[in-house]
């Protein structure tokens, strides 16, 4: 006797899956075979017991249900909905409530005679580091965004002192982004900006400075190569690393690519860097320049 | 949830549809029993049985719902309660006969079977009950259990059933031997 065949036939019979003809034929076989009859009985009991097991399980499940509650929906669904609505609200606020994008300063370079690092107290509420920022539009927005938390603090900044505050008054002027390929960028001030982490800039966060390929740089182009004076230091936009500053006749100049850019402590707003053109001054400044540059 | 949605979800083996129905119709169905000399517990028991019968019927793809689910449930409750009242009246008018005494062997077998089911792994228990009680297809079992496909479910079902059969038979033989 083929037991496997019998098993599937028994099961088909017990599950009413046989055609009437097959069913009759099977019943005849059962009637003539006591062993098969025993097996059919046992299998029928096993299936019945399994069914009873499931019935009991379902009844236990139903017994857990609170039938007095009026709500047609489980309370967790209601809570989940409320949380979802709240999150949407926050998301909308973050998205719509953002002011015009303002670049985060690329590097903070204390001016000569400026307040030491320790005094760079930052009462501004923005906990989002500006001086790690780059000139990509995305990141300048992030610098402004109170919800943006991925900014990393510059190692130069004291933990308690906070950071350079976010620029509050974006200007429409154009800035050049400074980095290792600064020359190129100077030639193409509005070109694509794919920055490269600079070992020189402690505040630089590799990966954060990379501008997504093909992304328009309009939002930050206007702040390329800008600066402003903020809390005792000059903050530069579009710079990857710090560049030397030279003091001459009480005025500070940024030395950059062989040119000198006068820095004004009155520049509280974001101000474009404009190279000094006075040949005499440039000559004097070059003499003042540290040997390293 | 509309009736057709509920039915569809039941057919997928979604127990939450059962919960939903249970809660939705609880008052109406239990009232039927309570208003016909039933206790609260009896009413609850009958309603739960009726709902589980509906669940099983709904699993059958040939089942056609020709009325509202609540109407259908109501009629199952009515039948169950009528049967229960009949059984009660028979029990009160007749002494317990020897009908059950003849089934000692069967009772013992069923006890063994239940013990073995209880000792099955959770996965096997689920597969076998989904198959034999809920009549879920292998595809639906695979979905519910997170298996790759129906073939996996089929293989697992086969192995689980074999395990159960062998377990029962080994116990059964031992108990025979003791007798």
d(Cα A241, Cα A256) in Å, to the nearest integer? Answer: 11
Out of B22, B130, B168, closest to residue A46 by CB: B168
ipTM of the complex model: 0.88
What pLDDT shows up at residue B141? 95
Higher pLDDT, A282 or A149: A282
Structure confidence by residue, pLDDT tens digits, A96-131: 765 554 444 444 444 444 444 443 444 444 334 334
Q: Residue A169: which of A211, A241, A230 has the closest Cα?
A: A230
Domain contains B176? no
Structure confidence by residue, pLDDT tens digits, A18-77: 999 999 999 999 999 988 998 999 999 999 999 999 999 999 999 998 887 644 455 566
Q: In chain A, where are the structural domains located?
A: 3-63, 100-293
On whether both B69 and B117 belong to a single domain, the answer is no
Out of A46, A52, A54, closest to residue B164 by CB: A46
Q: Residue A166: which of A103, A210, A239 has the closest Cα?
A: A103
Domain contains B179? no
Is there a contact between A61 and B18 if contact means CB atoms under 8 Å apart?
yes
- Per-residue CA distances from B84 to A131, B46, B101, B179 (Å): 81, 9, 22, 36
Structure confidence by residue, pLDDT tens digits, A242-274: 788 888 888 888 888 888 889 888 888 888 888
How far does the CA of residue A82 sit from the closest CA of chain B (Å)? Answer: 21
> What's the pLDDT band for A88 if we cut at 50, 70, 90?
confident
Kindly report the backbone phi and psi dihedral angles of residue A262, in degrees, each rounded to the nearest multiple of 5, phi listed first: -60, 135
Beta bridge partners of B5: none
Query: Pick from B69, B93, B117: which residue ends a domain?
Result: B93
On whether both B17 and B47 belong to a single domain, the answer is yes
On whether both B59 and B139 belong to a single domain, the answer is no
Structure tokens at A150: 């991925």
Q: Which of B25, B45, B48, B57 to mutate to test the interface with A (most CBs of A within 10 A)?
A: B48
d(Cα A291, Cα A279) in Å, to the nearest integer? Answer: 20
Q: Which of B28, B42, B43, B52 to mutate to test the interface with A (most CBs of A within 10 A)?
A: B52
On whether both B89 and B17 belong to a single domain, the answer is yes
Structure confidence by residue, pLDDT tens digits, A168-210: 444 433 343 434 444 444 444 443 333 333 334 434 444 344 4
**Low-confidence residues of chain B: pLDDT under 50:** 177-179
On whether both B10 and B84 belong to a single domain, the answer is yes
CATH classification of the domain holding B141: 1.10.10.10
On whether both B64 and B112 belong to a single domain, the answer is no
| Four-residue CA torsion sign, B142, B147, B152, B157 | negative
3 state DSSP class of A223: coil
Query: Pick from B93, B116, B142: which residue ends a domain?
Result: B93
Note down the domain range covering B16: 3-93
- Per-residue CA distances from B175 to A151, B170, B171 (Å): 73, 9, 6
d(Cα A207, Cα A224) in Å, to the nearest integer? Answer: 19
On whether both B16 and B69 belong to a single domain, the answer is yes
Which whole number is the average pLDDT over A72-101? 69
Domain contains B150? yes
Out of A46, A49, A55, closest to residue B52 by CB: A55
Query: Pick from B67, B93, B119: which residue ends a domain?
Result: B93
On whether both B82 and B107 belong to a single domain, the answer is no
């Amino acid at each position: 006797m083929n037991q496997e065949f019998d098993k599937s036939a028994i099961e088909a019979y017990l599950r009413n899956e046989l055609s009437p003809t097959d069913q009759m034929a099977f019943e005849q076989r059962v009637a003539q075979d006591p062993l098969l009859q025993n097996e059919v009985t046992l299998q029928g009991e096993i299936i019945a017991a399994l069914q009873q097991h499931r019935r009991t399980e379902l009844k236990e499940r139903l017994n857990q249900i609170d039938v007095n509650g009026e709500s047609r929906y489980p309370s967790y669904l209601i809570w989940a909905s409320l949380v979802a609505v709240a999150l949407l609200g926050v998301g909308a606020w973050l998205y719509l409530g953002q002011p015009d994008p303002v670049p985060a300063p690329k590097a903070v370079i204390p001016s000569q005679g400026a307040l030491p690092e320790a005094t760079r107290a930052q009462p501004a509420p923005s906990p989002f580091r500006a001086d790690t920022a780059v000139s990509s539009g995305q990141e300048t927005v992030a610098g402004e965004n109170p919800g943006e938390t991925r900014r990393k603090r510059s190692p130069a900044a004291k933990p308690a002192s906070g950071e350079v505050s976010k620029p509050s008054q974006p200007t429409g002027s154009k800035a050049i982004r400074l980095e290792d390929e600064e020359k190129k960028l100077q030639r193409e001030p509005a070109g694509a900006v794919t920055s490269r982490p600079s070992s020189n800039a402690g505040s630089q966060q590799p990966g954060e400075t990379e501008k997504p390929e093909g992304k328009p740089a309009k939002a930050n182009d206007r702040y390329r190569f800008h600066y402003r004076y903020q809390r005792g230091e000059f903050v530069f936009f579009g710079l990857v690393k710090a560049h030397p500053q030279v003091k001459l006749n009480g005025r500070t100049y940024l030395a950059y690519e062989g040119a000198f850019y006068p820095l004004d402590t009155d520049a509280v707003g974001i101000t474009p860097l404009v190279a000094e053109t006075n040949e005499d001054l440039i000559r004097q400044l070059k003499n003042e320049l540290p040997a390293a540059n | 949830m509309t009736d057709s949605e509920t039915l569809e979800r039941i057919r997928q083996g979604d127990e939450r549809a059962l919960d939903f129905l249970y809660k939705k119709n609880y008052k109406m169905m239990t009232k039927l029993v309570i208003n016909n000399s039933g206790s609260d517990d009896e009413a609850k028991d009958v309603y739960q049985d009726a709902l589980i019968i509906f669940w099983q019927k709904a699993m059958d793809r040939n089942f056609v719902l020709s009325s509202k689910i609540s109407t259908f449930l109501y009629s199952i409750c009515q039948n169950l309660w009528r049967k229960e009242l009949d059984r009660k009246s028979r029990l009160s008018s007749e002494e317990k006969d020897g009908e059950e005494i003849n089934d000692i062997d069967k009772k013992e077998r069923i006890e063994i079977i239940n013990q073995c089911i209880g000792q099955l792994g959770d996965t096997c228990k689920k597969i076998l009950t989904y198959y034999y009680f809920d009549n879920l297809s292998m595809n639906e079992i695979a979905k519910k259990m997170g298996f790759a496909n129906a073939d996996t479910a089929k293989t697992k079902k086969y192995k689980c059933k074999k395990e159960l059969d062998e377990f029962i038979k080994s116990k059964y033989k031992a108990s025979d031997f003791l007798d």
